[in-house]
């Protein structure tokens, strides 16, 4: 019953992750209610992001120039590299203000079932980056892939590769354990097992 | 830490209803991952909907021409008008396939606290529509405003106005009661009270 332009907008909105048909309908009606200026600001932002954002030539994070803001920032410790799966993983880490180094974005995780092999990720580029003769002495690579099957497999694969090519570099993995503020009663056994294995003296 | 074009997109997305900052971030990264064609299809759909969609001159529903599809449909019963608050309310009613008539979209509900007075809604236009000498004989007006304080107040106000101007027209209100598939145990007392008051012989 929607007019075709409305239906088109609903269809396009429903392609976004986590947006079902009803939510798309609601968003479309919201866009119809707002003034044209605001709606067009959203349309322009979408176009602009596709036109102006590419990948950083060093770390493959999203960038609006040849290099991303973090790689351009001289204050960031270039001897410390944090390896993540997706550009979106950089944001939560930055929010912690705990990591002073730079990043390397793989573009996914190894998953042979889905046809994602090492060549599909920026793994070779990581090896080049840490072994380059003009590279700043890299001390440590933190493997911050997700604590999932594919993330763990990716971390193990890269840890092996780094040990082979640059045995002097420390390779670490983010700690796994109970989330802060959680309750033992509701912890799954794998997480609880990890929390035990990683227990620390207080 | 986001590049400005990404931050702009996140900001615009977060203005949508029900979309918080985190979801906006996730949607933005999704848009960055999809190919440009698909992203631009969304941008175009937004622009197009603002350019091409206006209000029906008869019922004030959304329309891609001077009149909406329902007002143009000769098979719809012109003697039966369903009054709703928003264009979005037409969709769920159409989905029931229970209503053969036409609509009248008020553009909101009366709410003196929020400064919404009768002049701000299409109430005068409804009176003109039902009393026009060239109008098809209107038999019934169904007041399908929401079962909320403002929706009820709006329905009462319009019912009074219609009784005064066109006492021969039947004015009805949608039934209030227990939602189908719900459980008495979880019904709030107002709804349950309505269900009792509206009980019917079986």
Min mean pLDDT across B15-19, B67-71, B188-192 is at B188-192
Q: Which residue of A has its CA nearest to B97?
A: A1
Q: What sign results for the dihedral spanned by CA atoms B118, B120, B125, B126?
A: negative
How many CB pairs (< 8 A) connect A and B?
A: 163
Within this chain, do residues B41 and B113 fall inside the same structural domain, yes or no? no
- Rg of chain B over CA atoms, in angstroms? 21
Based on the domain organization, do A97 and A139 belong to the same domain? yes
| A119 and A37 within one domain | no
Concatenating the DSSP letter of every residue in A60-121 gives: --EESSSS-HHHH-TTSEEEEEEEESSGGGHHHHHHHT---EEEEE-SS--BGGGTB-GGGT
Average pLDDT in chain B: 89
Same domain for B85 and B164, yes or no, is: yes
- Residue B135 sits in a domain whose CATH number is 3.40.1360.10
Percent above pLDDT 70 for chain B: 97
Residue A38, C-beta contacts closer than 8 angstroms, at least 6 positions apart: B15
The answer, for A87 touching chain B at a CB cutoff of 8 Å, is yes
- Whether residues A16 and A83 fall in one domain: no
pLDDT classification of B202: cutoffs 50, 70, 90: low
Q: Judge if B48 and B87 occupy the same domain.
A: no
ipTM over 0.85: no
Percent with pLDDT over 90 in chain A: 59
Mutate to test the interface with A, among B18, B27, B49 (most CBs of A within 10 A): B49
Q: pLDDT tens, A143-165?
A: 988 888 899 899 999 999 999 99
Q: Does A15 touch chain B (CB under 8 A)?
A: yes
Nearest to A21 by CA among B107, B95, B147: B95
Q: Are residues A105 and A145 in the same domain?
A: yes
State how far the Cα of A12 lies from the Cα of A33, in Å rounded to an integer: 18
Please state, in angstroms and rounded to a whole number, the distance separating the CA atoms of residues A123 and A157: 9
Q: How far apart are the two ends of chain B, measured CA to CA in Å?
A: 65
Residues of A with Cβ-Cβ distance to B18 under 8 angstroms: 23, 26-27
Indicate which of A46, A62, A64, A93 best probes the interface with B, i.e. most B CBs within 10 Å of its own CB.
A46
Of B122-131, B141-150, B178-187, minimum mean pLDDT range? B178-187
pLDDT by residue (tens digit) across A38-80?
A: 999 999 999 999 999 999 999 999 999 999 999 999 999 999 9
Average pLDDT over residues B137-150: 89
Which chain A residues are within 8 Å of B101, Cβ to Cβ?
none
Q: For the segment B78-103, what is each residue's pLDDT rounded down to a tens digit?
A: 999 999 999 988 888 888 888 899 99
CB-CB neighbors (< 8 A) of A36 in chain B: 50-51
Percent of chain A's residues with pLDDT above 70: 97
Kindly state whether residues A98 and A138 are assigned to the same domain: yes
- Give the per-residue pLDDT at A27: 93
Q: Check whether residue A147 and residue A111 sit in a common domain.
A: yes
Question: Does residue B101 belong to the interface with chain A, where contact is any CB pair within 8 Å?
Answer: no
Whether residue A39 is found in the same domain as residue A128:
no
CA distance B198 to B3: 58
pLDDT at B68: 93
Residue A181 lies in a domain: no
Contact A6 B86 (CB under 8 A): no
**Mean pLDDT across chain A:** 89
Domains held by chain A: number: 2
For residues A5-34, give the mean pLDDT.
Answer: 92
Burial tier of A198 (Cβ tally within 10 Å: 0-12, 13-18, 19+):
exposed
- Condensed to tens digits (0 to 9), the pLDDT of residues B17-49 reads 999 998 999 999 999 988 889 999 999 999 999
Cβ separation A68–B3 shorter than 8 A: yes
Q: Which residue of B has its CA nearest to A90?
A: B1
Q: Specify the pLDDT at position A163.
A: 93
Q: How confident is the model at residue A135 (pLDDT cuts 50, 70, 90)?
A: low
Identify whether residues B45 and B91 lie together within a single domain: no
Average pLDDT over residues B158-185: 86
Q: For residue B116, tell me if it sits in a domain.
A: yes
Domain containing residue B108: 75-173
The CATH number linked to B9 is 1.10.8.420
Strands (E), B73-146: 77-84, 101-105, 140-143
The dihedral over CA atoms of B140, B146, B147, B153, expressed in degrees to the nearest 10, equals: -80
- B90 assigned to some structural domain: yes
| Percent of chain B residues past pLDDT 90, beyond the cut | 59
For residues B21 and B87, membership in a common domain is answered with no
Of B15, B64, B68, the CB nearest to A4: B64
Token digits of residue A49: 């992001």
**Chain A 16-45, residues with CB within 8 Å of chain B CB atoms:** 16-19, 23, 25-32, 36, 38-45
Q: Does B90 touch chain A (CB under 8 A)?
A: yes
* Chain A contact set for B63 (CB, 8 A): 3
- Asked whether residue B158 is domain-assigned, the answer is yes
Domain assignment present for A147: yes
């Amino acid at each position: 019953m929607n007019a075709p332009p409305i239906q088109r907008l609903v269809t396009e909105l429903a392609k976004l992750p986590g947006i079902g048909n009803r939510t798309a309908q609601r968003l479309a009606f919201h866009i119809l209610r707002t003034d044209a200026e605001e709606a067009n600001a959203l349309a322009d932002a979408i176009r602009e992001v596709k036109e102006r954002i590419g990948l950083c030539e060093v770390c493959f994070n999203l960038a609006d120039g040849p290099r991303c803001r973090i790689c351009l920032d001289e204050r960031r410790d270039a001897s410390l590299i944090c390896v993540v799966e997706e550009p979106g993983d950089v944001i939560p880490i930055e929010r912690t203000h705990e990591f002073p180094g730079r990043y390397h974005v793989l573009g996914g995780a190894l998953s042979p079932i889905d046809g994602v092999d090492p060549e599909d990720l920026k793994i070779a580029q990581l090896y080049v980056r840490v072994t380059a003769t003009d590279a700043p002495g890299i001390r440590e690579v933190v493997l911050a892939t997700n604590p999932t099957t594919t993330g763990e497999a990716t971390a193990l694969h890269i840890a092996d590769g780094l040990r082979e090519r640059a045995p002097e570099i420390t390779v670490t993995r983010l700690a796994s354990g109970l989330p802060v503020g959680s309750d033992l009663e509701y912890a799954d056994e794998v997480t609880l097992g990890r929390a035990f294995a990683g227990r620390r003296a207080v």
